[in-house]
Chains A and B, each alone.
Chain A
Amino acid sequence: MPEQDAKDHLCEQIDTYISHRIVLADSVIEEYAMAKIQNGAVIMTYARSSVVERVLIAAWTRGKRFSVKVVDSRPMLEGKNMLAQFVKVGIPCTYLLINGVGSVIAEVSMVFLGAHAINSNGSVYSRAGTALVAMLAKEHSVPVLVLSETYKYSNNIQLDSFTKNELAPIPDPRTSSRRITTRDRLGNETDVDDDTRNPNLQSINPLYDLTPHTHITVLVTEVGLIPPSAISTLAGLRDKDKGMQLSV
């Protein structure tokens, strides 16, 4: 195959993948997730997920009436962005930091979470703090719905949050929060996150954590609602994609 044709073919495959597995998939997930939202529901979200944002805005636009509790956490405070989108559309929202989740969980009907990756044992790799929210919800019998496209499925098996993670730099340049400062005994003002002063203090800022499958009620994907015990069946979908290989 001539080189240009090969390049065109590859680009075409990439475009198809994006349009099917991401764009169209999001629309289908919207439909499935919206069906689970009942009028009067109180939905809790955590940090920021584009799929969750899409679903809630679409549901509100289509006439469903509910309220949202946006849970956020330092230092990234990503939830603020999602909150801004919700407020713009008119959804009644409550904003809280993660340390307040225990106080409000009793009022919540369901939790919508996003994911960065879905492992084959059903555990969900997502923004740090997700596992906490999911665990609390499960303890209070609140259904936890993880919204994710199937391309995020990985044949990996992960058992804890530590063996595989990413650490963000401190202070995190992506953070949208103001720097928190503290004064020492001499009256010098220093950044709370600045650890160059004290060699005995090391701050870490892990970006992700692992939510075990026992804390998840259902995974909402473009192929339907999948219980965590059956997540490994998505492996069959991945293998189908291998057929999209370039034949030269």
Chain B
Amino acid sequence: MFELMEAVKDAATKLKRHYSHNSVSLSAGCDVFYQFISSLRDFGQASIQLDPKLPAVREYAQNTKQVKDTIADNVDAFIKDDSVILTHGYSRVVVNAFLLSHRKGRRISVYVTETRPRGLGMRTHELLTKAGIPCTIILDSAVAYAMDKVDMIMVGCEAVVESGGIVNAVGSCQMAMIAKAFNKPVHVLAESYKWTRLFPLSQYDLPTHNDHILSFDLVSTPPTSGSNSPLPGTPRRHHPVLRTTDSIPNLLFAAQRHPPLDTTMSTNSMSNVMPVGQAGRNPEVDYTPPEYITLLFTDAGILTPEGISSYLVTMSLRSESS
């Protein structure tokens, strides 16, 4: 049994390393699966008989598909007829929920942000228009402009963290803060395997953050070995990381499907898309603190951010005592 656990752990590590951009939700999912497998321990100590456990494992995997439908059912009650909903990026749970409501006969219209740089909003737009739901893509920077026309925000997430906040594609925090300013509810759809025991104190406390993100390029200064000797009284906000050139391979642009809007101007100097070196200094995900979130729709029910953090803490206390 121990070998099985080790094998699962190795597989999880390999997966996480391979899919760097989904690392947070992948970590969460792997941790939950690991816990699930360890709960199967009771099936027998002697040999690593996988066969009797396989149906249980398969059922677990199947379950995750049904989870999206459970969530969609819960969400449907909150969508009024003629709602205008704003969403961010591409989330299968969210799209599933919209399609379900549409099938039930509710009239909804959806704004979706472009979600640069990966341009995932386009996928959402494609799926919704195919199903007959009116959908318009808006600029990431037009969220405040559009907010007065919107009835609610509905987003998915990569992970729900212990504070009751979420980690999602970059731009979510912004959207939630603007929604709060306009008093629009922010609803997050999150399957329970996305809940993770992480507690970011700020954006820069996320595991996905590194020194290269939001760093400055001071070409004329020789590179130092990093900020290892802080002086007392140094303002904390001004810690420029001194680098001369960028050499970090840029996966963002490789994945980007969105072409420059004006193809006649797509020479290097006049491109309206940021240069490769700069794009590498940008984050992929951000952290939305719980104070900006109204409700979380999960397969364990509809919870407030405080509710989810209570649930997570209780679960971890229970698992530690057992």
**What is the CA–CA distance of A135 and B116 in the complex, to the nearest angstrom?**
36
**Cβ of B162: which chain A residues have Cβ within 8 Å of it?**
224-227
Cβ contacts under 8 Å, A225 to chain B: 162, 199
Using Cβ atoms and an 8 Å threshold, which residues of chain B touch A227?
Answer: 162-164, 199, 290, 306, 309, 313
Assuming the A-B contacts A39-B230, A67-B232, A229-B309, are A218 and B317 also in contact, with contact meaning beta carbons closer than 8 angstroms in the complex?
Answer: no
CB distance from A60 to the nearest CB of B (A): 12
Chain B, residue nearest A32 (CB): B199
Q: How many residues of A contact B (CB 8 A)?
A: 35
Which of B74-82, B176-184, B233-241, B264-272 contacts its partner? B233-241
Instruction: Give, as a whole number of angstroms, the nearest-CB distance from A213 to chain B.
Output: 10
Within the assembled complex, what's the spacing in Å between the Cα atoms of A94 and B202? 24
Name the distance in Å between A109's Cβ and chain B's nearest Cβ. Answer: 5
Given known A-B contacts A42-B230, A227-B162, A233 and B317 have beta carbons under 8 A apart: yes
Residue interface bits B201-213, CB-to-A below 8 A is 1, else 0: 1100100000000
Our pick among A218, A230, A232 for the contact of B201 (Cβ within 8 Å) is: A218
| B228 with A65: CB separation less than 8 A | yes
Number of interface residues of B (CB under 8 A): 33
A237 at the binding interface (Cβ < 8 Å): yes
Q: Is the CB of B314 within 8 A of A236?
A: yes
- Decide if B233 touches A110 in the complex (CB within 8 Å): no
Which chain B residues border A92 with CB–CB below 8 Å? Answer: 230-232
Contact with A along B297-322 (1 / 0, CB 8 A): 00000000110011011101100110
The answer to whether residues A39 and B227 also contact, given A217-B201, A232-B310, A233-B313 and a CB cut-off of 8 A, is yes
CB-contact partner of A218 in B163, B227, B228, under 8 A: B163
B229 at the interface (CB under 8 A from A): yes
A7 to chain B, nearest CB (A): 29
Seen from chain B, the residues whose Cβ lies within 8 Å of a Cβ on chain A are: 162-164, 197, 199, 201-202, 205, 226-237, 239, 290, 305-306, 309-310, 312-314, 316-317, 320-321
A-B contact pairs, 17 of them (CB 8 A): A36-B205, A40-B239, A42-B234, A65-B228, A106-B235, A108-B236, A110-B201, A141-B202, A143-B202, A223-B320, A227-B199, A227-B290, A229-B310, A230-B164, A233-B310, A236-B314, A237-B317
Given contacts A67-B230, A106-B237, A236-B317, 16 further A-B contacts (CB under 8 A): A40-B227, A42-B230, A92-B232, A106-B235, A108-B236, A143-B202, A218-B199, A225-B199, A226-B309, A227-B163, A227-B164, A227-B290, A227-B306, A230-B164, A230-B310, A237-B317
